[in-house]
Amino acid sequence: MPSRQKTIMHMVNKLTALQTKICYMIINVHVLLVNNSYRKTTMQNTGAFIAFASLVIIIYSGLNYYFIRKNRSLLTRRSLTAIIIRMLLFTLILTPVATTIFSYQGIPLLAALTGFPGYSWLAFLFLFLLIHGSVDIILFTAEKAGFVPSGYMAREILIVTMVLSVSVLAYGYHEAKDIKVERLVVETDKLPAGTKELKIVQLSDVHFSPLISVDVADKIKSIVNTERPDIVVSTGDLLDRAIRNRAGVIEALNGLSAPLGKFAVTGNHEFIAGIDNSVEFISQAGFLLLRNRSISIDGIINLAGVDDSDAARFGIKIDKSEKEVLEETEPGKFTILLKHRPVIDRQTSAMFDLQLSGHTHAGQIYPLRFIVRMIFEYTAGFYMIDANTLLYVNKGLGTVGPRIRVLAPPEITVIVLKHKSNSIPAFQ
């Protein structure tokens, strides 16, 4: 081997070793920061979180391994192009971890700069696994039947599946920005005389963060104010850590017009972002946070809100049960329960008329919807629990991780309560 080539390879090996050390260092710092953030929780909860974090790292490592293995013929070459690609690949692998660190440290600008490429890479890996993995299963079956694909065919399949993965990723970014307005009409005999109808707008799972900021808040304001609702509600996960341009987001949310008020409940991410920080943000945005309490809205309807069940995981005691909260509502009035998770408590279902929930994102990326359905009985849309109890599950406005949605478009829900005729609730 020529001395120049040996020198280049020696430098590549050194760089690769350095990148690996940096990777381990960043992961260790990440674990330390997260453990510090959770130090006030019980030892059992901390152990559960560490187990969860370890599972995430294993899955992420597996996704990267699958991609690298499928591209090993390119990545193991000794050309300058292959060296540059390897360095870029290592950098991409590190960016999601760096984003988490910047978010925990409250540096939204850096979190946004690393978050876009990092989470895009994560989404690409997932899509590549789904698409190329499906092809692998087909080829494996074909090989058992005696068909062996040529090396040329394997390369063509790799190129096609990568192009498809990038194409779906690009579509997902478009869909995530295309907010749909879903409409639900509920007819009831519980509205007081003189009230023809009441319009309520439901927001859910916006996840204001380094990646979701003022542009989304302004779009929400425009859509909501065009609908001219009487009430606006947020059913949890309004924010994540380190909101970029927090003041601008708060200003936009304060511009939401609702004569009878704006109300919110906690989701699990309000606790992840720090409950004190979340309470301050929600209040500054002009929402009244209903934490295990109920109120009467001008004597027209009852509105009850309960904390997300994740409160206990963060060492926060829930002082009232859902039943106790609903027992405080005014009898005879139409009662709406705001509850982040779409879980119906059969012991209390006769105590409210409509439950508004979110949390599921309808899977966010379509294949994940099947996993969501294994966890939750109700995943998205309108459900008639019984003759007197209704549930609506909002698909959410924002995203967790990559800012993409595939066949699970973001939504704002408009609910209109009307005097009852002889029809059933209509989902439009």
State the CATH class of domain 180-427.
alpha beta
With beta carbons less than 8 A apart as the criterion, state whether 378 and 359 touch: no
Non-local CB neighbours of 132 within 8 Å, separated by 6+ positions: 66, 70, 157, 158, 161, 162, 165
SS3 (DSSP) at 417: strand
Torsion of CA 337, 317, 269, 355, to 10 degrees: -10
Helix or strand run (H / E) with residue 392:
strand 389-393
The closest of 274, 324, 351 to 34, measured between CA atoms, is: 274
pLDDT of residue 38: 43
121-to-19, 63, 102, 177, 334 alpha-carbon distances in Å: 18, 10, 18, 19, 47
What pLDDT score was predicted for residue 12? 47
Question: What is the pLDDT at residue 47?
Answer: 65
pLDDT tens digits, residue range 216-228? 999 999 999 999 9
Domain boundaries in the chain? 3-175, 180-427
Q: What is the pLDDT tens value at each position of the chain, 428 positions in all?
A: 455 555 545 554 555 454 444 444 444 444 444 444 444 444 445 666 677 778 888 999 999 999 999 988 877 888 888 888 888 899 999 999 899 889 988 899 999 999 999 999 999 999 999 999 999 999 888 888 887 777 778 889 999 999 999 999 999 999 999 999 999 999 999 999 888 899 999 999 999 999 999 999 999 999 999 999 999 999 999 999 899 999 999 999 999 999 999 999 999 999 999 999 999 999 999 999 999 999 999 999 999 999 999 998 888 988 899 999 999 999 999 999 999 999 999 999 999 999 999 999 999 998 899 999 999 999 999 999 998 999 999 999 999 999 999 999 999 999 999 988 644 555 55
**pLDDT score for 40:** 44
Per-residue model confidence (pLDDT) at position 37: 46
CA 5 – CA 7 distance, rounded (Å): 5
Tokens encoding 165: 């993965």
Inter-CA distances, 44 with 54, 314, 317, 399, Å: 15, 11, 16, 29
Q: According to the model, what pLDDT value does residue 74 have?
A: 78
Count CB neighbours of 412 within 10 A. 23
